[in-house]
Structure formats: structure tokens, C-alpha cells
């Protein structure tokens, strides 16, 4: 007996909204990465995009445990000699809180074309408002131990 594969046009993708206030960054990111890939579904297929759309609100209220706010560094490089720029997590949360969550989720995804396509389904917003009311997103409670 063959295993049935879902057809691309038959995959039902839902919209979920997640409130990040008070959630630990790493535990939130693992749940989001799982949902984006579709690994929570019984018809998960590694080579197809079976994941859901995720809207994250209140990105600036995410928590980092321990002393990560001051010790965790985010690096980027311009490509030139001596072009390494480093920013700690506290500064990054103040200036671009969306990028903190986006980078945490992106680094938990596989490094391929499908993951880049799945990352486009992650929408992150600083406040509690988002422009996706027309999609009627369901609230998703992320349980962190």
C-alpha cells in the first residue's frame, strides 16, 4: 500500500495569531518553526509547504532568560575588511524587536529554498495591531513549560 501524498492545491492553510508578550524567545521560536513547516499536521511532507500562516503581535514584550539581554550578540558583516558589526539583544529589542523573533525562527528552519518560502508566511508586528483581519486568524496559545 502506498502512502498518500497531499496535493499542493488541496493543502488547507490556516491563519493563526500569537501574542508574544511574556513568552520566552527560544521556546516561542521552536513552536513557530514547527507550525511554519507543518510538522504538527498528520499530512506533513518534508518536500511540500504544508505549514500555516503565523501572525506574531507584541514582539517587543518577548522575554530572554538569564543574562542574555546583555551577553547575546547579533552579528552582521558588510563584506569589507573590518566590516563586522555586533549588537547586543537589549539594543536589538529596543530598535528592531521583529528581527529578534525572525532571526530566532529562521535559524531553526532548514537552510534551503523551501524554508525561505515558508518564512514568508511569518508576519511579525511590534504592537498589538496587525493588517490581517480579513484572513480571520484564530488565536493560538503557545504553551511554554
The residue range of the domain holding 37 is 14-64+96-139
Task: Report if residue 43 sits inside a domain.
Answer: yes
Tens digits of per-residue pLDDT, 36-78?
A: 999 999 999 999 999 999 999 999 999 999 999 999 999 999 9
Cα–Cα distances (Å) from 38 to 61, 71, 95, 133, 137, in that order, read 26, 33, 31, 22, 17
Q: What is the pLDDT of residues 23-46, one digit of tens each?
A: 999 999 999 999 999 999 999 999
Domain count, the chain: 1
Full-model pTM = 0.93
Q: What is the CATH number of the domain that holds 22?
A: 3.90.1180.10
Amino acid at each position: 500500500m502506498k502512502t498518500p501524498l497531499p496535493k499542493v492545491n488541496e493543502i488547507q492553510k490556516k491563519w493563526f495569531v500569537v501574542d508574544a508578550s511574556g513568552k520566552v524567545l527560544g521556546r516561542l521560536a521552536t513552536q513557530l518553526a514547527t507550525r511554519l513547516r507543518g510538522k504538527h499536521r498528520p499530512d506533513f511532507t518534508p518536500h511540500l509547504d504544508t505549514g500555516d500562516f503565523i501572525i506574531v503581535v507584541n514582539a517587543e514584550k518577548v522575554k530572554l532568560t538569564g543574562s542574555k539581554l546583555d551577553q547575546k550578540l547579533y552579528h552582521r558583516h558588510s563584506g569589507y575588511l573590518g566590516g563586522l558589526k555586533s549588537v547586543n539583544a537589549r539594543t536589538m529589542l529596543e530598535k528592531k524587536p521583529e528581527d529578534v523573533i525572525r532571526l530566532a525562527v529562521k535559524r531553526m528552519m532548514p537552510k534551503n529554498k523551501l524554508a525561505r518560502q515558508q518564512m514568508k508566511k511569518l508576519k511579525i508586528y511590534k504592537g498589538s495591531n496587525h493588517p490581517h483581519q480579513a484572513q480571520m486568524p484564530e488565536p493560538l496559545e503557545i504553551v511554554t513549560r
